[in-house]
């Protein structure tokens, strides 16, 4: 399928002021992230809090202009330093995590959903009303609700409204920033179904940011695991879930609860905290917490390289794989990666 979004070495650097007379330090919130996304596919971005997932979302939607790197939308290079123009905005839209904060409490659903059309198209008032009511039906809301205010809706309905707003301009790419993590379990399933349905019907490409691996496993075609502003592993979903290769990915996956009574599995407990972005450690940023760390890890920064159909940023991946392979072969996906 056609590629709709490609990021090349995206970087986002913030200046952190230390004090009045001290030199300000730079924080690399996003440190060279690259990926490519085809129409109708979902790229899941996973990682713990503070790993740069949301910064990536903000860079992709150009809420914040990335400090460096290239962004290609449907084969066109986006000028990230310029204010995005209408044509570009129509192609990439976003759904936020918290449906209670992402809807303007002072506007009716109608006003909110027609805002994108009002600002970017020449549709008449009647046409806009028509478009809004079609879209509301599309996301499973009754069009009569258009004149209501957000506070009259439940969390799940609000998230449907937020999805509807993102789709009003018929985008090609939708960035979903933890779209279901604020919802309870039953509603979560409904929203995920809606997203899958919309994707199939409209050929949307999703960048799905999440920390919930069970959700990711269900929806993702490709997975990018981020740590400390970098991708540490990037592969298609099947490969990464059946055979995670980076020690961080393994630890992350082992932390996902499995709904099986009596199921005992070995959990990899990570020591310590992610390093301070103000003072990054030498070499591999995961080194200080890694069970397999050796002298070489502190000397060089690992870059993504291909290994067994995946991209892995670990210099010792082969050695680690070799030592854990006997365990991984037969068992089911999620609990296959305990070290011996």
Footprint of other proteins (CB under 8 A): 61, 63, 84, 86, 89, 93-94, 96-98, 101-106, 115-116, 119-120, 148-149, 151-152, 162, 165, 168-169
Q: Give the CA distances from residue 260 to residues 47, 250, 257, 271, 335, in Å, rounded to whole numbers and listed in that order.
A: 24, 20, 9, 26, 11
Closest approach, Cβ 304 to other proteins, in A, equals: 29
User: Judged by CB, which is closer to other proteins: 148, or 211?
Assistant: 148
Q: How far is the CB of 154 from other proteins (least distance, A)?
A: 12
Q: How far is the CB of 240 from other proteins (least distance, A)?
A: 30
Which of 71, 61, 64 shows the shortest CA–CA distance to 29?
64
Q: Which is nearer to other proteins, 62 or 312 (CB)?
A: 62
Q: Give Cβ neighbours of residue 273 (< 8 Å, ≥ 6 apart).
A: none
Residue with tokens 């740590």: 227
Strand partners, 224: 45, 234
Dig out the tokens for 22 from the structure: 């001290």
CB of 57 to other proteins, least distance (A): 10
Question: CB-wise, 111 or 327, nearer to other proteins?
Answer: 111
Contact 206, 276 (CB under 8 A): no
In whole angstroms, how close is the CB of 101 to other proteins at the nearest point?
Answer: 4
* Phi, psi angle pair for 46, to nearest 5°: -120, 160
Q: What share of the chain is helix, strand, coil (3-state, %, to 5)?
A: 35, 20, 40
Which of 70, 127, 116, 79 minimizes the C-alpha distance to 94? 116
Return the number of the residue (62 or 231) whose C-beta is nearest other proteins: 62
CB of 180 to other proteins, least distance (A): 15
Burial class of 263 by CB neighbour count within 10 A (0 to 12, 13 to 18, 19+) = exposed
- Structure-token pair, residue 239: 């490969």
Smallest distance from other proteins to CB 298, Å:
38
Whether 27 and 190 have beta carbons less than 8 Å apart is answered as no
| Closer of 208 and 253 to other proteins (Cβ) | 208
Whether residue 146 contacts residue 169, with contact meaning beta carbons closer than 8 Å, is answered with no
Q: Smaller CB distance to other proteins: residue 58 or 246?
A: 58
Task: Indicate the residue among 171 and 229 with the shorter CB distance to other proteins.
Answer: 171
């Amino acid at each position: 399928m056609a590629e709709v979004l490609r990021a090349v070495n995206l970087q986002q650097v913030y200046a952190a002021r230390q004090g009045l007379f001290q030199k300000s330090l730079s924080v690399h919130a996003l440190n060279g992230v690259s990926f490519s996304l085809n129409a109708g596919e979902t790229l899941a971005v996973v990682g713990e809090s503070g790993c740069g997932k949301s910064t990536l979302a903000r860079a992709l939607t150009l809420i914040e202009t990335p400090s460096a790197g290239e962004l290609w939308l449907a084969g066109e290079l986006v000028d990230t330093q310029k204010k995005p123009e209408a044509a570009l905005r129509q192609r990439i839209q976003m759904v936020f995590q918290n449906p209670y904060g992402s809807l303007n409490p002072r506007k009716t659903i109608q006003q909110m959903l027609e805002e994108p059309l009002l600002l970017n198209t020449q549709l008449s008032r009647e046409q806009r009303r028509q478009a809004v009511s079609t879209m509301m039906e599309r996301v499973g809301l009754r069009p009569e609700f258009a004149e209501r205010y957000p506070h009259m809706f439940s969390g799940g309905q609000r998230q449907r409204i937020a999805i509807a707003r993102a789709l009003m301009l018929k985008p090609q790419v939708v960035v979903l920033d933890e779209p279901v993590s604020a919802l309870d379990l039953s509603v979560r399933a409904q929203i995920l179904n809606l997203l899958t349905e919309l994707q199939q019907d409209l050929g949307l490409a999703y960048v799905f940011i999440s920390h919930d691996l069970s959700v990711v496993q269900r929806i993702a075609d490709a997975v990018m695991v981020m740590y400390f502003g970098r991708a540490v592993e990037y592969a298609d979903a099947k490969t990464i879930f059946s055979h995670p290769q980076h020690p961080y990915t393994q630890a992350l996956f082992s932390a996902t609860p499995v709904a099986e009574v009596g199921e005992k599995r070995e959990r990899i407990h990570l020591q310590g905290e992610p390093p301070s972005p103000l003072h990054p450690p030498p070499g591999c940023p995961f080194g200080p917490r890694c069970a397999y760390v050796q002298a070489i890890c502190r000397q060089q920064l690992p870059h993504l390289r291909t290994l067994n159909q995946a991209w892995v940023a670990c210099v010792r991946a082969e050695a680690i794989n070799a030592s854990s392979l006997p365990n991984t072969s037969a068992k089911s996906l999620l609990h296959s990666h305990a070290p011996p």
